[in-house]
């Protein structure tokens, strides 16, 4: 997870060209985007008739089917850590770290990953302050979710990500991982930490 200066919500709103693409007016063919060791065929993002619901995890649970993988996201200012669960939602694992470029490119990469894994929804880490308040980073995350929800029908569940990066950093250090390697994987590991916490909470919600 990137812990740099907070990104203002307007910083992730598409410009005129990106807005045209997001609205479906850009009809150019899909292009390939490289994310780490993976090459994704990124579909052109087009607005859905109804935005996907954006809800706290406990409320989003009612919008999720009984089975199907979930995609966990750790949204940073420079990267997006991505994790995924198994179809039964027992275990989360890091998938890839996406280097952020612009909203349209980022969204296309996420949509491609969700389609590839036949995901049932997203779990987006919400960076709440330790006192429970929401600062600029949380506002930026909510702004990203609002725009992204126009491009997908999959529910977006918000889950408290406090201490996720610190916990992951400690575990990687204990595993004797080099500083360079930690920097390469910490975001996707943080996404897995966030997603696993959400999976455990969802399991506790079942009757």
Task: Summarize pLDDT for 58-81 with one digit per residue, the tens.
Answer: 999 999 999 999 999 999 889 999
134-148 pLDDT, tens digit each: 889 999 999 999 999
Domain that holds residue 63: 9-205
The answer to whether residue 2 sits within a structural domain is no
pLDDT tens digits, 95-126: 999 999 999 999 999 999 999 999 999 999 99
Residue 51 gets the label, from left (phi > 0), alpha (psi -120 to 50) or beta, of beta
- Contact between 27 and 99 under an 8 Å Cβ cutoff? The reply is no
Question: Is 131 contained in some domain?
Answer: yes
Between 166 and 185, residue with greater pLDDT: 185
Instruction: Report yes or no on whether pTM surpasses 0.75.
Output: no
Percentage above 90 pLDDT, the chain: 51
What pLDDT score does 168 carry? 54
Q: Which of 79, 56, 85, 107 is nearest to 165 (CA)?
A: 79
Hey, how many other C-beta atoms are within 10 angstroms of the C-beta on 195?
34
Residue 180 inside a domain? The answer is yes
CA distances from 146 to 51, 134, 135 (A): 8, 16, 17
Domain count, the chain: 1
Residue 38 lies in a domain: yes
Report the pLDDT value the prediction gives residue 91, as an integer from 0 to 100.
Answer: 95
Residue 118 resides in a domain: yes
Q: DSSP letter for 11, please.
A: G
CATH number of residue 53's parent domain: 3.30.420.140
Instruction: Please indicate, yes or no, if residue 4 is contained in any of the structural domains.
Output: no
- The answer to whether position 3 is within a domain reads no
- pLDDT the model gives residue 18: 46
114 is a domain residue: yes
């Amino acid at each position: 997870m990137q812990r740099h200066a907070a990104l203002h919500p307007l910083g992730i709103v598409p410009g005129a060209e990106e807005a045209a693409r997001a609205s479906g007016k850009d009809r150019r063919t899909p292009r390939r985007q490289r994310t780490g060791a993976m090459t994704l065929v990124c579909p052109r993002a087009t607005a859905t008739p109804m935005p996907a619901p954006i809800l706290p995890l406990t409320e989003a649970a009612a919008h999720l089917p009984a089975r199907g993988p979930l995609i966990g996201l750790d949204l940073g200012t420079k990267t997006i850590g991505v994790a995924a669960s198994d179809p039964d939602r027992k275990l989360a694992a890091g998938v890839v770290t996406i280097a952020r470029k612009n909203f349209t490119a980022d969204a296309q990469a996420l949509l491609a990953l969700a389609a590839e894994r036949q995901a049932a929804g997203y779990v987006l880490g919400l960076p709440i302050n330790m006192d429970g308040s929401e600062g600029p980073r949380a506002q930026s995350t909510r702004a990203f979710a609002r725009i992204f929800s126009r491009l997908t029908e999959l529910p977006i569940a918000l889950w408290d990500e406090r201490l996720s990066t610190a916990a992951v950093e400690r575990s990687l250090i204990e595993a004797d991982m080099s500083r360079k390697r930690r920097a390469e994987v910490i975001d996707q590991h943080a996404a897995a930490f966030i997603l696993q916490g959400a999976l455990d909470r969802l399991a506790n919600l079942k009757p």
